[in-house]
Amino acid sequence: MHEDTLISLLRDQGITLAASLPCDKAKELFRLLPESFETIELLREEDGVGVCAGAYLAGRKPAMFIQSSGLGNMLNALLSLSRTYELPLPVIASWRGVYKETIPAQVPFNTALPGILKAADIPFVTVHHPREFDWISETIDTAFRCHTPAVALVSPQCWEGDAAGELQEDTPDRSRHMHIVHNRTVPSPTMTRLDAIRALVPHLHDAAVVSNIGFPSKELFWTGDRKENFYMLGSYTQASSLGFGIALSSRRRTIVIDGDGSLLGTAILPVIAGKKPHNLTIVCLDNGVFGSTGNQITPSYRQVDLELYARACGFEQTAKVASAEETGRALASPEQGPSFIHVVIRPGNSYVPNIPLTPREIRDRFMNTIRPDAIQG
């Protein structure tokens, strides 16, 4: 089958991690991915940009496999994360909307997609036949050689003639007993985000740390800069995805300092809970507002309990804290992850300058520090 040919090509290129969100036009390829590579099955395509970025920073060669319409969801992350930090990301996309398309909604974006990629200066190729699969290999090579996202748009025509037909897969029994006892009080907060970060810093030790965009990264830098810190300068919602990719690819403990707004805007928590990375801790600094953009209230201010949200996603190790002492104790807990620490804080930004490091400097010193602990394969 042509899918087997592509899998062999990916192995030859050294791909060790796949992030995927399937397309029915290439269902056999998506079925084969978990049999061939460690595969992260996503709920939103942009989360895969963060996962793959983290995996690369920790020493692996990732690739994404998606339906081409998902590139519309990914564009900001591709440019503000992959392009900004010069991180390679090959994307193999099942190209909808062009060849024998029967769904009208697939047509407007996907027919315009080559022009969109060209305008974004993202290298791409169009592949219409299996004999052109070498172009996919060239796309992967371009991504890693030039440290850029690069896209292969693969027509459904490539899979015509295969005898796979409609897949008849046995699915496991999904029955289970759910028992969650969650009797919590969300306290009136006293700490600011800066107070919470000051409480976290003494307990970071040699952990790889990813901090959320805006004030969290700036406050962490001026409180306790260290070469193990990766500061997000853009890519809203991608901090936990990036930390997830690091945790899967490194033996080092990984800590994400995220926020309520960005965690409510991502679909990565159920994916993390499903993979159960034992070395990952997500610290949610919940001030109930978008602190970096003017303190606009988020749903967590009076409505959503983010600890319960994490438990509903499948996190078994969670805590809710509101003081510096509780925050330090929760982070120092020896329990295996993935763990989720809900830190209830009050709104308020400190007056801190921007981080005086370039994206490349942030990337290089972080990679050079954590890559000795990489998990290959």
**Is 318 within 8 Å of 310 (Cβ atoms)?**
yes
Residue 184 domain flag? no
What are φ and ψ of residue 363, in 5° steps?
-60, -50
**Is 241 within 8 Å of 50 (Cβ atoms)?**
yes
User: Percentage of the chain with pLDDT > 90?
Assistant: 84
- Indicate the pLDDT class of residue 335, thresholds 50, 70 and 90: confident
d(CA 250, CA 245): 9
Q: Render pLDDT for 134-158 as a digit per residue (tens, 0 to 9).
A: 999 999 999 999 999 999 999 999 9
Angle ∠(262,265,271) on CA atoms, nearest 5? 100
Can you give the pTM of this predicted structure? Answer: 0.95
Same domain assignment for residues 59 and 206: no
- The contacts of residue 39 (CB under 8 Å, 6+ apart) are 17, 18, 19, 20, 33
Residue 228 domain flag? yes
- The contacts of residue 82 (CB under 8 Å, 6+ apart) are 49, 53, 88, 89, 148, 149
Same domain assignment for residues 113 and 205: no
Provide the residue type at 368 as one letter. N
Same domain assignment for residues 359 and 253: yes
Residue 217 is part of which domain span? 193-371
Residue 165 domain flag? no
Residue 376 domain flag? no
Same domain assignment for residues 106 and 237: no
Residue 285 domain flag? yes
- The contacts of residue 363 (CB under 8 Å, 6+ apart) are 57, 85, 86, 87, 230
Same domain assignment for residues 110 and 64: yes
Domain with residue 310: its CATH number is 3.40.50.970
Residue 377 domain flag? no
Q: Render pLDDT for 219-268 as a digit per residue (tens, 0 to 9).
A: 999 999 999 999 999 899 999 999 999 999 999 999 999 999 999 999 99
Residue of 167, 168, 165, 155 lying closest to 67 (CA atoms): 155
Same domain assignment for residues 113 and 219: no
Output the pLDDT for position 149: 98
Same domain assignment for residues 142 and 219: no
Output the pLDDT for position 212: 96
Same domain assignment for residues 261 and 128: no
Same domain assignment for residues 155 and 225: no
Same domain assignment for residues 9 and 53: yes
Same domain assignment for residues 154 and 199: no
Same domain assignment for residues 197 and 343: yes
Residue 173 domain flag? no
Residue 6 domain flag? yes
- Indicate the pLDDT class of residue 317, thresholds 50, 70 and 90: very high
Domain limit, last residue, from 109, 140, 159: 159
Average pLDDT for 30-54 = 97
Output the pLDDT for position 231: 98
Q: Render pLDDT for 156-182 as a digit per residue (tens, 0 to 9).
A: 999 987 655 455 567 888 898 888 888
Domain count for the chain: 2
Return the H-helix or E-strand segment holding 311. Answer: helix 306-313
Output the pLDDT for position 104: 96
Domain limit, last residue, from 99, 134, 159: 159
Domain limit, last residue, from 159, 184, 209: 159
- Indicate the pLDDT class of residue 369, thresholds 50, 70 and 90: very high
Provide the residue type at 16 as one letter. T
